[in-house]
Amino acid sequence: MVWLSQLSVLCKDFHGASFDCTNSIMDHCTSRSNLQKVHLCSTCDLNSLNTFGESSFAVVEMMGSMNILKFYLCVPSNEIVGTTPERKRTWGSLCQLERALRSAAPCTIIIRRNIHMIFDSISEVFDALLSNFGPRGFKKPKDIAGQVVLVTGAGNGIGRLIATKIATTGCILVLWDIDEKGNEETKRMCDDLGAETHIYRVDMSDRQAIYSTASRVTSDVGVVNIVVNNAGILRDGGDFLKKSDDTIDATIRVNMMAHIWMAKAFLPNMIEQNDGHIVCVCSMSGIVGAKDIVDYSASKFGAFGFQEALENEMCHRKRNIHFTTICPSYIQTTMCDRIPLSSSTNFLSPNHVAEEIVHAILTNKRIVLLPKKTYFLYAAKGLIPRRTFQRLLLFVQK
């Protein structure tokens, strides 16, 4: 019996055409042999089929009632014409094949309609794996020379390190901080690296201060291309119930609400230009609830969720805006000195974290977890029981 191999011969000149073009196939093949079209059904009268000799063929239409997806097999007519046991078995096999094709048809249709999305998703998964766990030079960094990069909380700590590392890219730096003296020192360091630097004193807990300073920046420097939301506070650690309402309110306003206000201030120009990049320096405590810093953890959950939701909205509206979220664990800074941690806690180097942030910006990474073992923690959170996850969390924090 000649099945799929013969079908490929019949349809080789109709690549890309719909398979329901039986008449065209028949016309194409009449010069080669005698053909007749057979509609496959359980009630078909085999005796009604005529044979035209050993060299004749029948085109058997599979799933003839389905207009979206049809298959055709070319079978020697003398193998299906008549009522001998062998021919009945051949016909029965064709009927079984049709039932199998009908069962698989919905999946086939879904795959055909979404094939580009499927391949894009697979490509993105491999890209993310190589980007996060492969060699540093896997992805070529983008050129941001001449672009305006705004860094909040640039007066000290991680913010200062981000500013000094990104200053070497040829970008125009805009540094925000409530600490004027610290911000001036960061500006001096960036100037020494050859960067054009502008500084502004801003209280990130004040919505109107953010909006008014954003207008000044646009007027003085130009449209901001990259916003790095780094500013954050942690007043004290310990028992949640012992913290004052003012402390909790300030933490939420700086660590979460400021991200929303910054987006409202700078995102419209990014959308107008159909280009931009918003970076959220978050925390692992924004993914996994952390004891002793409940208010801080809640504020980082809010920042993480806002960043993700805003990214999804821009993606849905097909805006060319990039989003990067950085979630480091405990960093060796004065902020972490306020948290009652075990002496065996492993701290991340501030310099290493800043390098990872800048690299993530330049390669348009979507999310970066530090250290890398926390990717497993992030994936496990939704898969294992809560009590088991809490034990795992204690193990990872050692």
Catalytic residues: 296
Contact 377, 396 (CB under 8 A): yes
Which residues on adjacent β-strands are paired with residue 325? 280, 367
* CA atoms of 306 and 290, how far apart (whole Å): 19
Half-sphere exposure of 184 (CA within 13 A, CB side): 3
Rg of the chain over Cα atoms, rounded to whole angstroms, equals 32
**Closest listed residue to residue 396, CA positions, set 284, 314, 303:** 284
Give the DSSP H or E segment for 197: strand 196-201
Burial of residue 388 (number of CB atoms within 10 Å: 0-12, 13-18, 19+): exposed
What is the chain's percent helix, strand, coil content, to nearest 5? 50, 15, 35
Which residues on adjacent β-strands are paired with residue 176? 152, 200
135: preceding bond cis by omega (within 30 degrees)? no
Residues 6+ apart with CB under 8 A from 165: 354, 355, 358
* CA atoms of 347 and 333, how far apart (whole Å): 9
